[in-house]
Structures are given as C-alpha cells and as structure tokens.
Amino acid sequence: MRIQKFQVSLVENTRKLLPRSLRKFEARSFFSIVKISYRNPKLHFEVWVRGKEQLIEIGLHFESEKQINDALLAYFNSRALEIHAELGARIEIEQWTNSWSRVHEVVPYNTLDADLVSQLSMKLAKMIKVLQPMLDAYKKGAKLPRPRKMHS
C-alpha cells in the first residue's frame, strides 16, 4: 500500500473508532507523517512512518513553546501509572528535543497493509480516548503559560 493511501485509511478508520465527541479533529499529512489535532495544531497526535527503519511512531506530541511543553511533560509524567495501565508498558513519556516532548510508542512493521492500518487505527483511537481527555482536563484545571509575543 502506498503511504498516502495508508495515511488516508488510518485517519478514516481511527475516526470511526472514536466516540462522537472526539471525531471532530483536523488531520494533516505530509511526506511520512500524519498529524491529528483538536483546536491547537502544536499539541497533536502523530503517526510517523519511518520507512528505512521499518518503524512507526505513534503518539501525542507537544510542539509548542518550551514552557508549555515542559508543563505538559510534567503533567503527563505525573499520570504515568494511569497511562501505562491504559495504554501499556511500551508507552514512553519523554522530552524529545530541547523544547519538544511526547507521549509515544514505536511499533515495528513489515509492510504497509490493511492489517497494519487496522492495528494502528485501534491503537491511535485508544491513545486519543485516553490522552485527549487528560490534555483537556489539564487545560481546564491549570492555566497553560501564554505564548510570548514576538516584538518587532
């Protein structure tokens, strides 16, 4: 299956597996990455096909300002036991770059096919069902630091 068909199928199948309240996401794809977001594209779910390595990364990415990402990383780390109980021990909660963080899992694969679409759609839908309500609860309960304005 070509990467574009894989991405479209993954998004369509994932949407069908979600409760109605979580189906209204925005999906964007480019090259080997699909990003799914609710209101803020800097905080998004991502599926990245790393073809040469035959790995697929699937998870929630925090790609906003460092102070926001750090606050979210601390929050999700504080819920690590719950996250691992719901999503499994292979989930990693980590700072990925100097300023970006993620809650993710890396899945090996052989070929991009319908079985893989089905497997990853279920995994992504479960991640969204578990992690998006946590993200929403954090946003309601704690004030995220405001992005700094750029001075001209």
CATH number at residue 92: 3.30.1460
With respect to residue 121, please indicate whether it lies within any of the assigned structural domains.
Answer: yes
pLDDT at 144 over 70: no
Domain span at residue 120 reads 3-136
With respect to residue 141, please indicate whether it lies within any of the assigned structural domains.
Answer: no
Distance separating alpha carbons of residues 103 and 64, to the nearest angstrom? 14
With respect to residue 94, please indicate whether it lies within any of the assigned structural domains.
Answer: yes
CB atoms within 10 A of CB 94: 13
pLDDT tier at 152, thresholds 50, 70, 90: very low
Report the run of H or E that residue 105 belongs to, with start and end: strand 101-108
Structure confidence by residue, pLDDT tens digits, 19-59: 999 999 999 999 999 999 998 999 999 999 998 999 999 99
Distances (CA, A) of 106 to 59, 103, 149: 9, 11, 35
With respect to residue 68, please indicate whether it lies within any of the assigned structural domains.
Answer: yes
* Backbone CA torsion sign across 77, 96, 132, 89: negative
Whether pTM > 0.85 for this model: the answer is: yes
Q: Is 146 exposed, middle or buried (0-12, 13-18, 19+ CB in 10 A)?
A: exposed
The total domain count for the chain is 1
Alpha-carbon 136 to chain mean position: 14
Query: What is the full DSSP assignment across 4-72?
Result: HHHHHHHHHHHHHHS-GGG---EEEEETTEEEEESS-TTEEEEEEEEGGGTEEEEEEEE-S-HHHHHHH
